[in-house]
Copies of this chain bind each other. A is one copy, B any other.
């Protein structure tokens, strides 16, 4: 579902940029949902969970581990990512999961199918996120939960302040907007939920962070971004939208390499999160 996600050429062997997504788990990317999931599990252990925009499936798989008597469905617009998601599940020995292709705008499920319908970094990339929320609510049972966590790209804080990293930040926001997405998705989640008729009393809003600052995190982050800038879909789209030259992207890649070597370097971002009680 994520538009900057390039599926692996060889299923089961992800490129570096996919590794950046594959460190994601329910614990580090959906902590806001876990207490609710736990209390729902105490009521009924056979929970059905839908993970929308599952990508390479690491979050979906960790949800499946958390509800061993339940079942997880992961769905992604991109059919090429599904073999990788299935490989991730198989490697983890997780059986109570399936992955299929589909759009968040037209989920291939009957009304009120799932106890929990969630997404992570999906609404930030699409043109009418409130329609996606509406559709996610449709397939969720009464008494169930719709949950979304979305970045707020404008809150990204990078240190040190290398000029080329500032340009990269603008490039990313520009790419997101050019692709029809919303760089400030995190802060708008509440407004989108209200827009589709959800009552304020049904919504719990929270904010959390993601960051890269340990040497291994910096290396992984830098490698992933350099790959994208030197040959990935990010470069391809940025050239298509006229957001920079090949030389610009090379300069940005060099700056990320320098950033990774700096002991004082970090990158952090704010994420918005909503839980909607249907």
- A interface residues with partner B (beta carbon < 8 Å): 152, 154-161, 184, 186-188, 190-191, 194, 200, 205-209, 211, 213, 263-264, 266, 268-270, 272
Interchain CB contact under 8 A, A160 and B207: no
7 contacts between A and B (CB under 8 A): A152-B268, A157-B270, A159-B184, A159-B191, A194-B263, A205-B211, A206-B211
Does A160 lie within 8 Å of B263, measured CB to CB? no
Partner of A155, one of B206, B213, B270: B270
| A213/B205 in contact, CB under 8 A | yes
Q: Are B191 and A160 in contact (CB under 8 A)?
A: yes
Choose among B190, B263, B264, B268 the residue that contacts A270 (Cβ–Cβ < 8 A).
Answer: B268
Residues of B within 8 A of A155 (CB): 155-157, 268-270
Cross-chain contact B205 with A187 (CB below 8 angstroms): no
CB distance from A262 to the nearest CB of B (A): 9
Interface centre among A152, A157, A188 (most CB of B within 10 A): A157
A190 near B264 with CB under 8 A, answer yes
- Asked if A272 and B268 make an inter-chain contact with CB atoms under 8 angstroms apart, the answer reads yes
- With both beta carbons as reference points, the residue of chain B lying nearest to A209 in the complex is identified as B207
Q: Are B157 and A268 in contact (CB under 8 A)?
A: no
Most chain B beta-carbon neighbours within 10 Å: one of A155, A184, A186, A206 = A155
Closest B residue to A161 using CB positions: B184
Residues of B within 8 A of A211 (CB): 205-207
Supplied contacts A159-B187, A194-B264, 16 more A-B pairs, CB within 8 Å: A152-B268, A154-B157, A155-B156, A155-B270, A157-B184, A158-B187, A161-B184, A190-B213, A190-B263, A190-B266, A191-B264, A200-B263, A205-B266, A208-B209, A209-B209, A266-B272
Whole-angstrom distance between the Cβ of A187 and the nearest chain B Cβ = 4
> In the complex, what distance in Å separates the CA atom of A161 from the CA atom of B187?
10
A133 to chain B, nearest CB (A): 13
Question: Which B residue sits closest to A195, measured CB to CB?
Answer: B264
Report whether B205 and A270 are in contact in the complex, using a CB–CB cutoff of 8 Å.
Answer: no
Which of chain B's residues have a CB closer than 8 A to the CB of A156? 155
